Amino acid sequence: MLLQSIIIGLIAVFMQLDSRVLGRLNFERPLITCTLVGLVMGDLETGLLIGAQLEMVTLGMMSIGASGFDMNKGAIVGCAIVIRSGVDIETALAIAVPLTVLDRFVVTFFDVVRLNLTHMIDRAVEASNYKKAKFVDIVLGPLTYCINAFAVVFIAVYFGEGLINQILEVVPEFIMTGVSLGANIISFYGFALLLSTMISKKNCVFFLIGFVISAYSGLGLTAIAVIGIVLALLFYQLRYGNGQAVTVGAVDELDELD
């Protein structure tokens, strides 16, 4: 359990360095981090399912500028504890959301530390001590992110299973239901935000067809996706499959997003 907790903490560190030191690799997403946690803990399927669920919640809690919440550390901890304790996936939501709120206080503390590091860099530059300025900027700055991510995730994962089980026994059922319901509402809002960037007057009927097939056919998502690909290829062949060149004027203009 100790080794797993360390590796999961390092996953959090790698996630935290994304977009800060490593560039934008898109590892800072619950879908990716929870899948890695599931791989480490030997339950890839559950990790992927939890990651997909929490990804929708993240979309509903998307940060604007420097505001908002970072769901990633809460998602990692929730995924690890759910896989280890064997509780249902909904519990991951009940763990991730409160932990995200609590982690905001820890993040604020490290933000204050980084603010002081900025003043340290200014003083080093004024003193023409550029070597120290580079060291603080390149080493100490990212180090605060690493300490924050590793400490929060490692402590919560290593000591959290027993504590979470005690909390689940003490907390009334209606509170757990309310937290799960609130998280689901946020995930629906996140999905609506995602859908609003894709849907238009010409393709909304296809979203409706997909919803009807999913709700009433009993088919899985993979089968529905295959049907969608086949229909897309069929429509493409019907329109452009005659081998004739398509002029610019013959191509429909892009629909304006609603």
SS (H, E, C) 35-57: HHHHHHCCCHHHHHHHHHHHHHH
132 and 212 in a single domain? The answer is: no
Residue with tokens 């550029």: 130
58 and 140 in a single domain? The answer is: yes
Q: If you count them, how many residues does the chain have?
A: 258
Q: How far is CA 107 from the centre of its chain?
A: 17
Dihedral sign for Cα 158, 159, 162, 168, please: negative
Q: What is the pLDDT of residues 94-118, one digit of tens each?
A: 777 677 767 777 777 888 888 889 8
136 and 29 in a single domain? The answer is: yes
236 and 141 in a single domain? The answer is: no
For the chain, what percent of residues have pLDDT higher than 90? 0
118 and 228 in a single domain? The answer is: no
Band (pLDDT 50/70/90 cuts) for residue 71 is confident
CB contact at 8 A, 39 and 164: no
138 and 10 in a single domain? The answer is: yes
In the chain, the number of structural domains is: 2
| Measured CA distances, 114 to 65, 127, 138, 177 (Å) | 17, 20, 12, 38
Of 13-17, 54-58, 236-240, the poorest mean pLDDT is in 54-58
Domain assignment present for residue 101? The answer is: yes
Please give the Cα distance from 248 to 51 (Å, whole number).
Answer: 42
Name the residue range of residue 117's domain. 2-194
38 and 137 in a single domain? The answer is: yes
Q: Residue 233: helix, strand or coil by DSSP? A: helix
Please give the Cα distance from 232 to 226 (Å, whole number).
Answer: 10
180 and 230 in a single domain? The answer is: no
158 and 216 in a single domain? The answer is: no
Band (pLDDT 50/70/90 cuts) for residue 257 is very low
Domain assignment present for residue 255? The answer is: no
107 and 54 in a single domain? The answer is: yes
pTM flag (> 0.75): no
44 and 154 in a single domain? The answer is: yes
Single-letter amino acid code for the residue at 128: S
Domain assignment present for residue 40? The answer is: yes
Q: Is the pLDDT of residue 251 over 50?
A: no
Q: What is the pLDDT of residues 152-167, one digit of tens each?
A: 888 888 887 666 556 6
- Considering the chain, what is the average pLDDT of its residues? 77
237 and 204 in a single domain? The answer is: yes
Angle 28-137-130 from CA coordinates, rounded to 5°: 160
